Amino acid sequence: MLDINSDKFKNLSARNLYSRIFGEIGDQNKDVVMLGPDAIKSNGGGEFMEKFPERTFDFGIAEPNMVTAGAGLAKLNKIPLVGMYGFLVLRTAEQIRDDVCYQDLNIKLFGSHSGISMAALGVTHHGVHDISILRSFPNMTIIQPASPKEAVAAISTAVLDYVGPVYLRIPDSLYEGLYDDTYHFEIGKAYTLQDGEDVTIIASGATISIAKDAANQLTSEGISVRLINTPTIKPMDEDAIIKAAKETKGIITIEDNDLAGGLGAEICQIVCENYPTKVKMFGLPKDRFTVIAPSTKALFDYFGIHVEGIKKAAKEILS
């Protein structure tokens, strides 16, 4: 794993941070190769491409072929980093299932501009179904960092230490100061950022900032909130979820994926099978397309994914 406290990773935008991480990973292991569409720099592969042009492959707009080529390289004992915009998981789903997951190959897919980060580009560019699709594929691990330190730790662990298919869902915004210098990432582990007894809020990736703001405001109003960040979407930390169900009066989930098959749906399944409790889910509504919007925040607000809505849900659980 890379050093999360290195000065190399400080004071960078999210995109430049990902670029630096992939470049440093390339230095660590000569078998790592980069495959990308015609937007490698935009996807976060710029530094890797500049350092290792002979290990970088541009597939234009042939993303399904790119995934299959990655499978071939994995068969040759390379570690392919296969990048694309999050919404392109739809286009490559068959190849991911058959060529990557079915063969349980050591490929690291990464989806940039995930969720609704490209709000202004409209429905076609909203990557809100990737978790739902990839959660259903055997052998697939899904990781979504929420902070710069977590991004360094999670991405480098997935690529350098873990063997098997991984989807790195990398958000455009990362929450500074979420963890101190002792943070240690572990696949399959959820992290309790704040303990509480009344209600649990669970979030991941870009929605952690909304969750933090809601938890802070509820705490100031005398409501005891347990706040959990789950950087691993699959496999989920079931013990942490069941513990929250038992020890608090209900759970609120927040995500930027479709509610059908996303983080909230997974938590509902865990709770229903082990310790039923109230669950309120915030995310992109089921059986409805998103809409074009001037910003990510505007789209969050449009679909009710905001602090006031979460506070209201928490109070309804407690009533």
User: How is domain 191-318 classified at the architecture level of CATH?
Assistant: 3-Layer(aba) Sandwich (3.40)
Closest among 127, 194, 181 to 150, alpha carbons compared: 181
pLDDT tens digit string along 224-278? 999 999 999 999 999 999 999 999 999 999 999 999 999 999 999 999 999 999 9
- Say what the pLDDT of residue 301 is: 96
Please check the confidence at residue 135 and state whether its pLDDT lies above 90. yes
More confident residue, 199 or 180: 199
> Are 85 and 113 a contacting pair, CB within 8 Å?
yes
- The CATH 3.40.50.970 domain(s) of the chain lie at 7-169
Greater pLDDT, 15 or 279 = 279
* Stretch(es) of the chain classified as CATH 3.40.50.920: 191-318
pLDDT at residue 131 tops 90: yes
pLDDT in tens, 49-92: 999 999 999 999 999 999 999 999 999 999 999 999 999 999 99
Band of residue 3 on the pLDDT scale cut at 50, 70, 90: confident
Joined tokens for residue 84: 């694309």
Which burial class, exposed, middle or buried, applies to 138 when counting CB atoms under 10 A from its CB (0-12, 13-18, 19+)?
exposed
The 10s digit of each residue's pLDDT in 232-247 is: 999 999 999 999 999 9
Asked if the model's pLDDT at residue 7 lies above 90, the reply is no
Banded model confidence at residue 43, pLDDT cuts 50, 70, 90: confident
What CATH superfamily classification does 7-169 receive?
Thiamin diphosphate (ThDP)-binding fold, Pyr/PP domains (3.40.50.970)
pLDDT digit string (tens) for 284-319? 998 999 999 999 999 999 999 999 999 999 999 999
For strand 232-234 and strand 141-143, is the pairing parallel, antiparallel, or unpaired?
antiparallel
Q: What percent of the chain has pLDDT over 70?
A: 100
Give the type of residue at 99. D
Which residues are bridge partners to 110 per DSSP?
A: 83, 168
Mean pLDDT of 196-220: 97
Residue showing tokens 């659980």: 317
pLDDT band at 42 (very low <50, low <70, confident <90, very high): confident
Cis peptide before 235 (omega within 30 of 0): yes
How far is residue 308's CA from residue 206's CA, in Å, rounded to a whole number? 18
Q: Any idea what the Cα angle at residue 19 is, between residues 57 and 15, rounded to 5°? A: 120
Cα distances from 53 to residues 26, 80, 108, in angstroms, run 11, 14, 19
* Per-residue pLDDT tens digits for 140-172: 999 999 999 999 999 999 999 999 999 999 998
Classify 222 as helix, strand or coil: coil
pLDDT at 41 over 90: no
Sheet containing 191-194, strands listed edge to edge, beginning at the edge strand earlier in sequence: 191-194, 225-229, 199-203, 250-258, 278-284
Instruction: Name the pTM for this structure.
Output: 0.96
Tell me if residue 216 falls in helix, strand or coil.
Answer: helix
Tokens 């990398």 locate to 170
pLDDT at 159 (0 to 100): 97
Work out the end-to-end distance of the chain between its first and last CA atoms, rounded to an integer number of angstroms.
45
In this structure, how many other beta carbons lie within 10 angstroms of the beta carbon of residue 65? 14
Q: ∠ at Cα 126 (79, 61), nearest 5°? A: 50
